[in-house]
Amino acid sequence: MFKDDDGLYVSGFPGWQDYRPNDRDLNEWSRIPVYGACIVTGRNHSVYAIDCDDTSQAAAIREVIDRCLPEVPERNRSNSGKFLRAFRLEINPPLAKRVMRTAYGAIEFLGKGQHFVAAGNHTSGVPYKWEGETPTRFPTISVDVFEACWEELAKRFAVEPVTKSRTRTRGKTASEAWRTNEIFQILQEREMVLSTDEGAGRADITCPWEDEHTSESSASSTSFFLANFGGYATDAFICKHAHCAGKNISHLKDALGLEFEDVTGASESTDWPVINTDSGGRTKRVEFPIDALPSALRNAAEEVARFTKSDVVSAAVVGLSVAATAIGKRAQIEERPGLYHHPSLFFVIVALSGERKSSVFKEMTRALERWAADQEQEHSQAVAKAQAENAVIDGLLSSMRRKSINAGTTERHVLVQRMAEESAKRKVIPPSPRLFTSDVTEEKLFQKLHAHDGAFAVMSGEGRQVFDSILGRYTGQGRTGDGIYLAGVSGDTITRDRVGNEQSGPEDLAIQNPCLNVCIMVQPDKFRETLNHPSLQESGLIARILSVQPISLIGTRFEEADEEGLNEFALIEFEQVVEGFLNAPRRINPATNRPKPHLAKLGPEAKEARRQWHNVLERKMGDDGEFESYRDIVAKAVTQTVKIALVLHLLEYPSLMQEEQSEIFLDTLEYPDSQMQEQSEISLETWSSAQRLGEFLLKSAISFRDPERYYADRLVEWLKRKKMQTITLRDVAGLCQV
């Protein structure tokens, strides 16, 4: 363990890949049980590995490897379907890294300079284990056998050409590599290089985000590595500051203006790139950060995606909405002093017909459905009891009403008083335990929200009717029906005042601090109609919609012989967490006699991180800023992310719903053993995960708003940055890669 420049403890030690441990090291390290061991691949010992992170097709991939490489041992862990097979190859020069993209992930060949954990724990705390006995030596296989296995895997599972990392050619020195590296040349031109170690392929540089660091930088806190140096198969960017957690070489290239390939003068070439689009005609989006989700939701989403053969983003988003619905008004988060939010989120999943929207929706919402079904008998009994008691009261009222006709003044006054007292005893009919509806008018939705104390959801695997209601199709007079959705998601008080009738009198109802969750699957035409509605654009509802479009897998959803059905066990943990939220006791504030929600507060470091991200987005919304045209969407991003952070926090530590208050910190190394306490801490990973999800959803929402304008803005910005006056079609194609 060592401290980085922000004072955080980091596992390992600098330059460990090149360190050669001696017997003394091994004896000393073996006495510390929390230490793990990594093996660097492609070194003199000739160890390599095949690493599978496609959990949806893991069984079929394992079957191919078992058939081709029967003696090769497997390493895995209990909380994931991912696995690794390690072996030796006698080959010189060593093989480089290869990546095979599959429908649900990737199969990677760990080549020269990469590494894997041979013994120790995953970051989730779960230990890695080897099937059978822990190997003392890896079996040696021939290169021909390995290549045959790799070819078979590619035939069965590859969805695009396999990529290979280039190894350095013989005779090419490190100095030559530095001179020909475009990134390094730009770093030098901008005087960002502080020092270089040419032999190690490392340059210590000034971080492009140095102004946003929360502590002083040292000369070695930020580094750039050449490909095939320092254990990296490709060029690499490393910054040890907490603010830059998650940033990689792509972020550095973007900051340097190299996000897209500069192919000026390529007009004479006939090697035109293909613009990658899905079946809806939109450019393919960046990959959804599924690893940002807590394991309970991640495992459920990955299994449903495997079973339905759909993009995991659909199941993941529905799962987030299910969790937020189950939490409801039982919890809230303090974004800033005086600014509190329940986890009310409006998700829209846009997909064409045939994308198995209904199947995904059914499997991911069944925790809510089962809970409601379990409550039905008790609910029916409660309704019958309330109706019976009200019938008795109605009988008494009817009797007293008849007596009052011929009663004197004094007796009538007594009867009126008794009638008022009896009327006050009438029981409210308990609302249905169902927590969401799929088709509802604005008036009925108000009734549902009011009956459930302001916490309810609208969820549908086919949401055309919901959008028709929002568009005002059922209201007439050109009025839209978005008001209750806007207030319900924003948490603003909703009122309904009506004249009423002689029996009931005027109706004066209010819902304070509502928590309306929405998750709708809809086809692109209906969503586009909604986005283009002028009134909805002005109201602010559209700016609050978190929209995603899954990657279409149509044409690749082939079924295997004896294919496994839905693995119920993969969904159990998520369903148990959701049920735990729904059954969590609701505390009562004695001062108001109202429910008192669990409170999560951002700790000092979390507040600072939120403030910094807010300010970054604020600058980009300024005149001529990157997000100038999308201010309404971007202005809501931080608050939406804060709500997502609350959901992730409680999914990770569901027992906190039993306590009154927890705190979210960003600089703690681990969560305390006891979760039952007034204040709790979550790691940097949790907040970073929330922000990664927020950034993904923000980019997705922007691309929906105005794709043509979005790419036009990117093109203009690129031309300015490159100081170019002309552009080729190949340039445009590169800019459309999302």
SS3 367: helix
Cα 693 to the chain's mean position, in Å? Answer: 4
Q: Which residues contact 504 (CB under 8 A, 6 or more apart)?
A: none
Which tokens belong to 149?
A: 């296995």
Which tokens belong to 547?
A: 């929209």
What's the CATH fold of domain 36-164? Prim-pol fold (3.30.2250)
Which tokens belong to 528?
A: 């586009």
Q: How far apart are CA 546 and CA 283, in angstroms?
A: 18
Cβ atoms within 10 Å, residue 281:
9
Q: What does DSSP assign to residue 438?
A: S
Residue 639 burial by Cβ neighbours in a 10 Å radius (0-12, 13-18, 19+):
buried
3-state secondary structure 621-685: CCCCCCCHHHHHHHCCHHHHHHHHHHHHHHHHCHHHHHCCEEEECCCECCCCCCCCCCCCCCEHH
Q: How far apart are CA 661 and CA 685, in angstroms?
A: 20
Q: Which residues contact 511 (CB under 8 A, 6 or more apart)?
A: 446, 449, 450, 454, 493, 494, 495
Q: What pairing do the DSSP bridges indicate for beta strands 505-511 and 494-501?
A: antiparallel
Phi-psi region of 9 (alpha: psi -120 to 50; beta: other; left: phi over 0): beta
pLDDT, residue 643, reads 94
Q: How far apart are CA 239 and CA 189, in angstroms?
A: 20
pLDDT, residue 641, reads 94
Q: Where are the alpha helices (DSSP H) in 158-230?
A: 174-180, 182-189
pLDDT, residue 105, reads 81
Q: How far apart are CA 708 and CA 519, in angstroms?
A: 26
Q: How far apart are CA 540 and CA 298, in angstroms?
A: 31
The dihedral through the CA atoms of 245, 247, 248, 253 has a sign that is: negative
Q: How far apart are CA 650 and CA 394, in angstroms?
A: 45
Q: How far apart are CA 648 and CA 665, in angstroms?
A: 13
For the chain, residues with pLDDT lower than 50 are: 1-11, 166-172, 259-285, 499, 502, 666-679, 710, 737-738
Amino acid at position 213, single letter: H
pLDDT, residue 6, reads 45
Give per-residue pLDDT as tens, 308-332.
Answer: 999 999 999 999 999 999 999 998 8
Helix (H) or strand (E) holding 698, with range, is helix 684-705
Per this entry, what is the length of the chain?
738
pLDDT, residue 263, reads 32
pLDDT, residue 216, reads 59
Q: How far apart are CA 628 and CA 544, in angstroms?
A: 17
Give the distance between the most distant pair of CA atoms in the chain. Answer: 117
Helix (H) or strand (E) holding 117, with range, is strand 115-119
Extents of the domains making up the chain = 36-164, 174-255, 290-341+566-735, 362-548
Contact 84, 50 (CB under 8 A): yes
3-state helix, strand, coil in the chain (%, to 5): 45, 20, 40
Helix (H) or strand (E) holding 222, with range, is strand 222-225
Closest listed residue to residue 298, CA positions, set 278, 276, 320, 279 = 320
pLDDT, residue 3, reads 41
Cα 517 to the chain's mean position, in Å? Answer: 17
Q: How far apart are CA 403 and CA 70, in angstroms?
A: 93
Q: State pTM to two decimals.
A: 0.58
Which tokens belong to 516?
A: 């309306």
pLDDT, residue 168, reads 42
Cα 336 to the chain's mean position, in Å? Answer: 23
Q: How far apart are CA 217 and CA 552, in angstroms?
A: 44
Closest listed residue to residue 331, CA positions, set 344, 322, 345, 313 = 344
**Radius of gyration of the CA atoms of the chain, in A:** 30
